[in-house]
Amino acid sequence: MSAAPRPLRDRTPTPVPPPKGSGCRVAKHDPLRQPPIMSSHRQAALAPGDVERYRADGILVLRGTFADWVEPLRAGVERLLAEPSPLERTYRPADGSAPFFQDFCNWRRIPEFRAFVHESPAAPLAARLMGSRTARFFHDHVLVKEPGTSVPTPWHQDQPYYCVDGDQSVSFWIALDAVARDTVPEYVAGSHRWGKDFRPTRFDGTPLYAQDGFEALPDIEAQRAHLRIVGEALAPGDALAFHFRTVHGAPANRSAARRRGFSTRWVGDDAVYADRGGTTSPPFPDLKLAHGAPLEAPEFPVVYRA
Ligand SMILES: O=C(O)CCC(=O)C(=O)O
């Protein structure tokens, strides 16, 4: 069961203008620099065995958990498409098919996203799945595959793209449209326990960092028959909860329907800053943390503490 959203007018403080410059930044005078921390909150229902399944597989399909948030989040996505951030990256395929829009770190300025971070069951749910006393917000990511786009999301792990290390992590990829099996993101169950961090690359295949000690991701498509791939059709409000190290990817959207995904990323008590020796995706240019230091900074507020 999720906490029913209140009308936005009641809960929306004055919108905060985006900080200047690109990158995930917190404006000095943002009234929500350190937002209030929840300690009691209506919990989302989990089925028996869900937490153990999440920890073993690194992927868990949640049915209807965020159904109450679909309309507000769709409104937030429309607001974002009308006014993207400097981090917006839209892939426009050379074959002339529809675009694949992505943007990051907009939760402080898009009221519907901000409300989701603070009022939805995501934070306490993240803490339970991660086995952490706290749920610290890492960032939000909007991924819209317009009908017909030929752009797949290549197989990858998220963790090496990020300036964070640790084992307590979860992303919630929330479907804002019905998504058919052949369009939905897919996950290699158990890959978060392979003990490897694979080289992060851009969509064109070039490495994200000039020098890195990462090994290349194996050819997942070639090994499909030997792996347990999780991918299920989704209804609006369903979510995919997955670990930052779980290998995943998504097909193109050959369907006639939009595929809007809203992802929020969370970390737990063991999160530390990882200096990757290059600009991470997304970038957090104002961070002044030492490699291995606890991930404590205004960019990453603790939203929930048990
Ligand atoms: O939406 C997609 O196509 C991929 C999602 C993804 O890679 C993510 O949320 O980390």
| pLDDT tens sequence across 217-276 | 999 999 999 999 999 999 999 999 999 999 999 999 999 999 999 999 999 999 999 999
CA distance 260 to 229: 22
- Cβ of 159 below 6 Å from ligand 1: no
Mean pLDDT, to the nearest integer, of 198-206? 89
Question: Nearest C-alpha to atom 6 of ligand 1 is from which residue?
Answer: 249
Choose the residue to mutate in 138, 173, 245 for probing ligand 1, maximizing ligand atoms within 8 Å of C-beta. 173
Question: Nearest C-alpha to atom 1 of ligand 1 is from which residue?
Answer: 143
- Cβ of 153 below 6 Å from ligand 1: yes
More confident site: 135 or 10 = 135
Question: Nearest C-alpha to atom 7 of ligand 1 is from which residue?
Answer: 249
pLDDT (0 to 100) of residue 32: 67
pLDDT (0 to 100) of residue 30: 77
CA distance 287 to 25: 9
Say whether pLDDT at 3 is over 70. Answer: no
Give me the helix-helix angle, 70-82 and 111-119, nearest 10°.
140
Say whether pLDDT at 8 is over 50. Answer: no
Say whether pLDDT at 9 is over 60. Answer: no
What are the pLDDT digits (tens) for 98-132?
999 999 999 999 999 999 999 999 999 999 999 99
pTM: 0.92
In order of 7, 162, 209, the CA distances from 19 in angstroms are: 26, 21, 26
- Cβ of 158 below 6 Å from ligand 1: yes
pLDDT (0 to 100) of residue 131: 97
CA distance 302 to 32: 12
User: Counting atoms of ligand 1 from 1, which one is nearest the CA of 100?
Assistant: 3
User: Counting atoms of ligand 1 from 1, which one is nearest the CA of 250?
Assistant: 3
Choice among 11-25, 63-77, 189-203, 244-258 with the minimum mean pLDDT: 11-25
Helices (H), 216-305: none
247 C-alpha to center of ligand 1: Å? Answer: 11
User: Counting atoms of ligand 1 from 1, which one is nearest the CA of 259?
Assistant: 1
Question: Nearest C-alpha to atom 10 of ligand 1 is from which residue?
Answer: 158
- Cβ of 61 below 6 Å from ligand 1: no
- Cβ of 143 below 6 Å from ligand 1: yes
Q: Under DSSP, is residue 201 helix (H, G, I), strand (E, B) or coil?
A: strand
CA distance 258 to 247: 24
228 C-alpha to center of ligand 1: Å? Answer: 18
pLDDT (0 to 100) of residue 17: 55
Choose the residue to mutate in 89, 240, 263, 264 for probing ligand 1, maximizing ligand atoms within 8 Å of C-beta. 263
Residue pair 179/266 in contact by the 8 Å Cβ criterion: no
∠ CA(161), CA(37), CA(141), 5° rounding? 30
What are the pLDDT digits (tens) for 163-183?
999 999 999 999 999 999 999
Q: Which helix (H) or strand (E) holds 260?
A: strand 259-267
